[in-house]
C-alpha cells in the first residue's frame, strides 16, 4: 500500500486559481471494476481512480482469477469472468480502508459457490456490517462477522439466493448496492426502498452493462439470474475530491477556479446546493452526459458565506462532503446547524467528533450533537489538528489554511492516498501553501 506523508503543514493565506481535474470518481471506479469482473466480455475503464481503495477492489478480483490489464494513467482493461466465473481467493482478502469495497463485495460474494473472508485495516474493522449482512441473510446468504457486527466478514458459498422486498432503515448507497449485487445471483426480483435517495451509480451502471433496473413505488428493483455484457466506461472527476477545491475557492479571497469534467449526478450534489444557499458562486458550464452520468465543468469564485440550517433531506447527497462543509461553516457569517447526519459517526472516523475537535483546536466554536453540529463562523487560528487517519478530515483541514491566521499542522494524513493520491500536487498548483512535514 502506498501511503502519503504523515504530517502536513499549511501556511496561512493564498487563493485558488486556474483549471484542474480532480481524480476519477471513487464510487463509479469501484462499480465499473465489480460489474466488469462478473460481466461477459471485456470492460475498458478510462479515468479510473488509482487510489488505495479502488486498487484494493482491483486486487481482490485479481485474487479471484479475473484478468486485469493496467493501461497506464487511469486506463484499466478487465476480462470479465462472467456471473459464475470467479474462483476462490487463495486466502483472506484484505480491503484496507475501503468501506465501499467491503459492503459491495459482501453482496456480490454472497451468491458464489465458494467461501470468502474479507478483512480490513483498523478503521474498517470498526465499521458496521450488520446493515448489509441482515438483508443478505434474508435473501438466504450465509455470512458471519464479529459479535460487534464488524469485519472480518466470512461469506459461505453455495446458498441459493432468493429475491426480497426490503425497506432500508438508513439511506445508504453501500447497503443498497450490496443488496442489488447479491440480487443479480438470486431467483426472482429484488426491490429496495430507501428513506431518502442515496447515490444511484449502481443503478445507472447496471443499465450500461445491459441489465437495467426498474423503479416501482419508490423502490429500485432488479431481476435475478443476470447476464451482464462488458462495456467501456469513462469515469468523471470525483465531486467528493473536487469538493475541497470548491470550498477552498469559495472561502479564499480573490479565488477563481475551474474544475474540469466533474460528475454532477443529482444524488451527489447536495454540497453545491448547500454552498449556493449559503451565498457561494458556483456555476456548471458545458453540462453533458458521459456514460450515463451527468458531467460539467464547475466554475467557482470567492464569495461571502452566510451560516444556515442545513435541511435533513440534503444530507445523503452531501454525506462525504461534511468535513469540508464544516470548514465553509467556520468561514461563514453567523451560525450553521447540521442535523440528521448521524451517519457521519460511522465513516472512516467519527467525523462529527474529529471535525468538532479539530475546529475547536483552531479557535472555532463547534458544538457536536448526536446527529450533527452547530458551528459559529469566526477567524480560524493556526494550530495542530489530528485527522484520526481519515482522508477527508485531513484534506478539509488543509483547505482551512486558506483562511487561517497562522500555520495549521495536520497529523495522521497518510490515508489521503485512499481517495486522492495527487492531492498535494494539485493543491500546490492551485495555490495552497501546503508542504509535507511539520512546516518550516
Asked if residues 144 and 188 have their Cβ atoms less than 8 Å apart, the reply is no
Q: What are the grid coordinates assigned to 211, written together?
A: 441489465
Q: Please return the burial class of 311, using the count of CB atoms within 10 Å of its CB with bins 0-12, 13-18 and 19+.
A: middle
Q: What are the helix (H) ranges across 365-422? A: 391-400
Q: What is the maximum alpha-carbon separation in the chain?
A: 63
Q: Report if residue 172 touches ligand S3P, rule: CB under 6 A.
A: yes
Q: Report if residue 97 touches ligand S3P, rule: CB under 6 A.
A: no
CB of 26 to ligand S3P, least distance (A): 7
Site for ligand S3P (CB under 6 A): which residue of 101, 116, 174, 255?
Answer: 174
Q: Report if residue 349 touches ligand S3P, rule: CB under 6 A.
A: no
Site for ligand S3P (CB under 6 A): which residue of 143, 173, 352, 362?
Answer: 173
Q: Which is nearer to ligand S3P, 27 or 265 (CB)?
A: 27
Q: Report if residue 50 touches ligand S3P, rule: CB under 6 A.
A: no
Q: Report if residue 387 touches ligand S3P, rule: CB under 6 A.
A: no
Measured in degrees and rounded to the nearest 5, phi and psi for residue 17 equal: -150, 160
CB atoms within 10 A of CB 62: 14
Name the DSSP class of 107. H
Q: State which H helix or E strand residue 319 sits in.
A: none
CB of 18 to ligand S3P, least distance (A): 27
Write down the catalytic residue from 53, 297, 320, 350.
Answer: 320
Name the DSSP class of 169. S
**Residues 195-214, interacting with ligand S3P (CB under 6 A):** 198-199
Q: Report if residue 380 touches ligand S3P, rule: CB under 6 A.
A: no
Distances (CA, A) of 107 to 52, 57, 140: 21, 14, 12
Of the candidate spans 169-177, 208-216, 305-313, 369-377, the one that interacts with ligand S3P by CB under 6 A turns out to be 169-177
Q: What are the grid coordinates assigned to 413, written together?
A: 494524513
In the complex, residue closest to ligand S3P by CB: 27
Is 238 part of the annotated catalytic residue set? no
CB of 198 to ligand S3P, least distance (A): 5
Q: Report if residue 241 touches ligand S3P, rule: CB under 6 A.
A: no
List CB contacts of 232: < 8 A, sequence separation 6 or more.
43, 44, 45, 46, 291
Name the DSSP class of 420. -
CB of 208 to ligand S3P, least distance (A): 16
Site for ligand S3P (CB under 6 A): which residue of 54, 177, 234, 349?
Answer: 177
**Cross-sheet strand order for the sheet of 40-46:** 67-72, 75-81, 40-46, 232-234
Site string for ligand S3P, 25-44 (x = CB under 6 A): --x-----------------
Which residues form the catalytic set? 320
Binding site for ligand S3P (CB under 6 A): 27, 100, 172-174, 177, 198-199, 319-320, 343
Amino acid at each position: 500500500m502506498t501511503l502519503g506523508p504523515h504530517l502536513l503543514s499549511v501556511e496561512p493565506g493564498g487563493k485558488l486559481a486556474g483549471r484542474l481535474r480532480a481524480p476519477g470518481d471513487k464510487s463509479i471506479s469501484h462499480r465499473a471494476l465489480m460489474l466488469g469482473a462478473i460481466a461477459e466480455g471485456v470492460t475498458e475503464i478510462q479515468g479510473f481512480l488509482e487510489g488505495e481503495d479502488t486498487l484494493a477492489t482491483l486486487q481482490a478480483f485479481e485474487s479471484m482469477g479475473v484478468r486485469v490489464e493496467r493501461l497506464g494513467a487511469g486506463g484499466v482493461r478487465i476480462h470479465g469472468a462472467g456471473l459464475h466465473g470467479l474462483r476462490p481467493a487463495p486466502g483472506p482478502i484484505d480491503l484496507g480502508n475501503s468501506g465501499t469495497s467491503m459492503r459491495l463485495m459482501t453482496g456480490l460474494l454472497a451468491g458464489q459457490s465458494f467461501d470468502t473472508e474479507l478483512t480490513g485495516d483498523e478503521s474498517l474493522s470498526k465499521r458496521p456490517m450488520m446493515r448489509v449482512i441482515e438483508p443478505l441473510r434474508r435473501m438466504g446468504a450465509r455470512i458471519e462477522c464479529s459479535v460487534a457486527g464488524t469485519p472480518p466478514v466470512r461469506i459461505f458459498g453455495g446458498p441459493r439466493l432468493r429475491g426480497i422486498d426490503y425497506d432500508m432503515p438508513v439511506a445508504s448507497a453501500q447497503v443498497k448496492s450490496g443488496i442489488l449485487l447479491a440480487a443479480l445471483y438470486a431467483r426472482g426480483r429484488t426491490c429496495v426502498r430507501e428513506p431518502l435517495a442515496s447515490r444511484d451509480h449502481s443503478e445507472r451502471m447496471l443499465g450500461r452493462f445491459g441489465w437495467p433496473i426498474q423503479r416501482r413505488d419508490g423502490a429500485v428493483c432488479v431481476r435475478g439470474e443476470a447476464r451482464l455484457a462488458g462495456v467501456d466506461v469513462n469515469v468523471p472527476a470525483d465531486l467528493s475530491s473536487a469538493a475541497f477545491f470548491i470550498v477552498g475557492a469559495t472561502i479564499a479571497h480573490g479565488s477563481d477556479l475551474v474544475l474540469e469534467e466533474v460528475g454532477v449526478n443529482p444524488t451527489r450534489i447536495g454540497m453545491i446546493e448547500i454552498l449556493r444557499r449559503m451565498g457561494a458562486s458556483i456555476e456548471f458550464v458545458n453540462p453533458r452526459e458521459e456514460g450515463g452520468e451527468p458531467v460539467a465543468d464547475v466554475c467557482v469564485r470567492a464569495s461571502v458565506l452566510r451560516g444556515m440550517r442545513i435541511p435533513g433531506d440534503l444530507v445523503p447527497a452531501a454525506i462525504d462532503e461534511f468535513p469540508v462543509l464544516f470548514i465553509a461553516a467556520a468561514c461563514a457569517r453567523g451560525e450553521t446547524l447540521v442535523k440528521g447526519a448521524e451517519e457521519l459517526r460511522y465513516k472512516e472516523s467519527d467525523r462529527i467528533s474529529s471535525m468538532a475537535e479539530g475546529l475547536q483546536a483552531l479557535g472555532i466554536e463547534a458544538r457536536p450533537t448526536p446527529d450533527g453540529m452547530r458551528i459559529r463562523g469566526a477567524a480560524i487560528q493556526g494550530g495542530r489538528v489530528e485527522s484520526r487517519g481519515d482522508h477527508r478530515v485531513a484534506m478539509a483541514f488543509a483547505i482551512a489554511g486558506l483562511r487561517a491566521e497562522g500555520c495549521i499542522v495536520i497529523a495522521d494524513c497518510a490515508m489521503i492516498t485512499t481517495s486522492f493520491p495527487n492531492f498535494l500536487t494539485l493543491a500546490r498548483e492551485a495555490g495552497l501553501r501546503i508542504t509535507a512535514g511539520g512546516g518550516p
